[in-house]
Amino acid sequence: MSGLRTVAKAAFESVENFFDRAFGPELNPMHQLGALGWFFYWIVIVSGVYLYIFFDTGIHQAYESLEYITNVQWYAAGVMRSLHRYASDALIIVMILHLVREFVMDRYRGARWFSWFTGVPLLWFVFACGITGYWMVWDVLAQYIAITTTEWLDTLGIFGETIARNFLNPDILSGRFFTLMVFIHIAVPLFLLLAMWIHIQRQNYAKVNPPKGLAIGTLGMLLVLSFIKPAVSQPPADLSIVPAVIDLDWFYLAAYPLLDIIPGLTMWAIAVGGSLLLALLPWLPPRRREAAAVVDLDNCNGCGRCVDDCPFTAVILQQRTDDTAFSEEAIVNSSLCTSCGICVGACPTSTPFRRTSELVPGIDLPDQGMQALRDDVLAAAAKLSGETRVIVFGCKNGPDLQRLNGPAVAAMELQCIGMLPPSFVDFLITRHHVDGIFLTGCTLGDCHNRLGNKWTEQRLAGERDPYLRERVPRERIGKFWAGLTHNKRLSQEVAAFQERIKGLPPYHRPSRKPSGQQPAESS
Ligand code: HEM
Ligand code: SF4
Ligand code: SF4
């Protein structure tokens, strides 16, 4: 399975590389699928509210009001109608891509089960919104959907009398029943919104807004499509005849032809059983979970940086439980922790400069502690030779690091690049353990642990605590966010970096300031 997943991941990344080249990593739509889902949702809501002003909810008037919208007020309400339809279709596309991608990228299991599990009802809500939307047009497509859906519902046998009989002839169909459909089409999106909100509750800084450029570009494309190919109705519904040719919307209605050939109860078993199976995927097959981060109270001052940086809302601050002067302490909810180590990279006590023999930070990973990392890095650095000794730090979800090892290069694999405290870079360079540090990991904008490479960039740029001190020569730091597919390029980038540092003058620490003004080593 893991081999298959690696191939699928690489396939996704190849497609995404194309978008990276076209738009740059920040605007890559494949990195923004959830955010685009939210964006399309809002377009559907705004355009839907506008349409509702002109839409007549009466069974005989609905079709005519939509004809007015499309043909008379085509420049405003007509465009809104097209936007409403195309944004709904786009929502389906990004939702399915998002689902497959989270699965392929293995971002749904272990502590991440919650987002996956709560994503499954979203599928039902989105389809329910779309299907009831087509119903409201009351054309032949609506007629087909109404009859097929109600016949399917009737196979459950839970309604007092069959609902499908409402559509047997025009005299029976009541306006009240139609109004109920309209009400459902308005109510379901509200439940969808609530479900979408629940869906992101375990994501710190969830991306719910695409970057401005991507939002404008996508909206522009929808608008162009709306003008080129406006959404129109099919011939009006006529319950006295069976519609012959119907143009289906394959995004929402692809399963409908199956209802004609597969028994209703079997289709229920497929839909409900399939959803249950999907919802249970995070537990099948079980994955070995690495140990959650642990807090060491003796070293925690309650600064809250781990809380800010944890991508999965797994750390909170609580009132101090010991008798130190600090008012708060960090506490990890182990059931939410994915063991990414980003909190360790954020903790100010996680520094190799500490003079105590044991490096015990305020928060640490039991399976890859900071002490072990410092020991391993120093041992690896001691074996390097030449004038371009480089340690490459990468993450286990990123490029292949082993191929980089050589006489002058040693690669260290971390849980996530965000786990590396900037003080390690400072320590290794300013103490002359190596001549340069190279950082790599997932592609920018698509960290496996959501925020690892973003926080790393910000810490190096001095925009986020704990930041890399100014004294560290930036020309001795290289980075390349290689992802899974740029292994060859990564080797070239590391080689080019070694060439660059070869010509640099030796590093000398800045002269000491008068006593009292020297910055502390363990920042
Ligand atoms: C209306 C449809 C949906 C919308 C708008 C939506 C939106 C989002 C957003 C905004 C995020 C946070 C992304 C981030 O900041 O990293 C997210 C995460 C996630 N979504 Fe969805 N989602 C939808 C449907 C689904 C479905 C159907 C599934 C799968 C059954 C799913 C699975 C996930 C998972 C597993 C994550 C967490 C990824 C991680 O831990 O890094 N979503 N979604
Ligand atoms: S390792 Fe730290 S940052 Fe990562 S999920 Fe656990 S508590 Fe959050
Ligand atoms: S970052 Fe470190 S010191 Fe600050 S609250 Fe978290 S564990 Fe404690």
User: Is the shortest distance between the CB of 297 and ligand 3 below 6 Å?
Assistant: no
Domain count across the chain: 2
Average pLDDT over residues 98-123: 96
Q: What is the extent of the structural domain holding 425?
A: 294-502
**Same domain (yes/no): 145, 263:** yes
Query: What CA dihedral angle connects 384, 386, 388 and 389, to 10 degrees?
Result: 10
Average pLDDT over residues 112-126: 97
**Is 364 strand, coil or helix?**
strand
**Same domain (yes/no): 256, 394:** no
Query: How far apart are alpha carbons 248 and 475 in whole angstroms?
Result: 59
Q: What is the CATH number of the domain that holds 174?
A: 1.20.810.10
Highest mean pLDDT among 234-243, 417-426, 440-449: 417-426
Contacts with 203 (C-beta within 8 Å, 6 or more apart), sequence order: 115, 311, 312, 313, 450
**Same domain (yes/no): 317, 244:** no
Lookup: tokens for 51: 């349409």
Average pLDDT over residues 277-294: 89
pLDDT at position 517 is 43
Q: Please check whether residue 58 lies inside any domain of the structure.
A: yes
Average pLDDT over residues 264-277: 97
Provide the percentage of residues in the chain whose pLDDT is more than 90. Answer: 76
Q: Which of 338, 368, 419 to mutate to test the pocket of ligand 2 (most atoms within 8 A of CB)?
A: 338
Instruction: Indicate the pLDDT class of residue 514, thresholds 50, 70 and 90.
Output: low
> What is the residue with the minimal CA distance to atom 5 of ligand 2?
337
> What is the residue with the minimal CA distance to atom 8 of ligand 2?
310
Atom from ligand 2 closest to the CA of residue 363: 2
pLDDT at position 513 is 55
pLDDT at position 71 is 94
Sign of CA dihedral 34, 116, 90, 97: positive
**Same domain (yes/no): 310, 261:** no
**Same domain (yes/no): 42, 159:** yes
Pocket of ligand 1 (CB under 6 A): 34-35, 37-38, 95, 98-99, 102, 107-108, 112, 115-116, 119-120, 122-123, 126, 196, 199-200, 203, 206-208, 450
Contacts with 389 (C-beta within 8 Å, 6 or more apart), sequence order: 381, 408, 409, 434, 435, 436
Q: Which residue type occupies 40?
A: F
Lookup: tokens for 320: 């101090």
Tell me which of 232, 251, 283 is where a domain ends: 283
Half-sphere exposure of 463 (CA within 13 A, CB side): 6
**Same domain (yes/no): 178, 217:** yes
Query: What's the pLDDT tens digit per position in 253-264?
Result: 999 999 989 999
**Largest alpha-carbon pair distance within the chain?**
96
Q: Please check whether residue 20 lies inside any domain of the structure.
A: no
With beta carbons less than 8 A apart as the criterion, state whether 126 and 192 touch: yes
Please give the distance, rounded to the nearest whole angstrom, from the Cα atom of residue 159 to the centre of ligand 2. Answer: 49
Q: Please check whether residue 166 lies inside any domain of the structure.
A: yes
Burial 108-140 (b: 16+ CB within 10 A, else e): bbbbbbbbbbbbbbbbbbbbbbbbbbbbbbbbb
What is the helix (H) or strand (E) element at residue 411, kind and residue range?
strand 409-414
Please give the distance, rounded to the nearest whole angstrom, from the Cα atom of residue 292 to the centre of ligand 2. Answer: 7
Q: Compare 98 and 353 and report the one with higher pLDDT.
A: 98
Count CB atoms within 10 A of the CB of residue 457.
17
> What is the residue with the minimal CA distance to atom 8 of ligand 3?
300
Query: How far apart are alpha carbons 270 and 483 in whole angstroms?
Result: 37
With beta carbons less than 8 A apart as the criterion, state whether 321 and 329 touch: yes
Tell me which of 234, 257, 283 is where a domain ends: 283
User: Is the shortest distance between the CB of 349 and ligand 3 below 6 Å?
Assistant: yes
With beta carbons less than 8 A apart as the criterion, state whether 262 and 154 touch: no
Percent helix, strand, coil in the chain (nearest 5)? 55, 5, 40
Query: How far apart are alpha carbons 484 and 462 in whole angstroms?
Result: 28
For the chain, state the CA radius of gyration.
Answer: 29
Give burial (CB, 10 Å; 0-12/13-18/19+) of 242.
exposed
**Same domain (yes/no): 142, 162:** yes
Q: Please check whether residue 124 lies inside any domain of the structure.
A: yes
DSSP state of 236: B
Provide the percentage of residues in the chain whose pLDDT is more than 70. Answer: 95
> What is the residue with the minimal CA distance to atom 4 of ligand 2?
340
Q: Please check whether residue 2 lies inside any domain of the structure.
A: no
Token pair 């964006």: residue: 39
**Same domain (yes/no): 106, 170:** yes
Give burial (CB, 10 Å; 0-12/13-18/19+) of 445.
buried
Query: How far apart are alpha carbons 172 and 183 in whole angstroms?
Result: 20
Instruction: Indicate the pLDDT class of residue 245, thresholds 50, 70 and 90.
Output: low
Please give the distance, rounded to the nearest whole angstrom, from the Cα atom of residue 190 to the centre of ligand 1. Answer: 18
Token pair 């919307």: residue: 249
**Same domain (yes/no): 465, 330:** yes
Q: Please check whether residue 519 lies inside any domain of the structure.
A: no
Q: Please check whether residue 104 lies inside any domain of the structure.
A: yes
pLDDT at position 356 is 63
**Same domain (yes/no): 164, 258:** yes
pLDDT above 90 (res 180):
no
User: Is the shortest distance between the CB of 330 and ligand 3 below 6 Å?
Assistant: yes
User: Is the shortest distance between the CB of 95 and ligand 3 below 6 Å?
Assistant: no
User: Is the shortest distance between the CB of 347 and ligand 3 below 6 Å?
Assistant: yes
231 Ramachandran zone, left/alpha/beta (phi>0; psi -120 to 50): beta
Average pLDDT over residues 190-211: 97
**Same domain (yes/no): 348, 306:** yes
Instruction: Indicate the pLDDT class of residue 30, thresholds 50, 70 and 90.
Output: very high
Q: Please check whether residue 273 lies inside any domain of the structure.
A: yes
**Same domain (yes/no): 302, 198:** no
Tell me which of 221, 250, 283 is where a domain ends: 283
Question: Quick one: which ligand is closest to 337's CA?
Answer: 2
Query: How far apart are alpha carbons 373 and 512 in whole angstroms?
Result: 29
pLDDT above 80 (res 244):
no
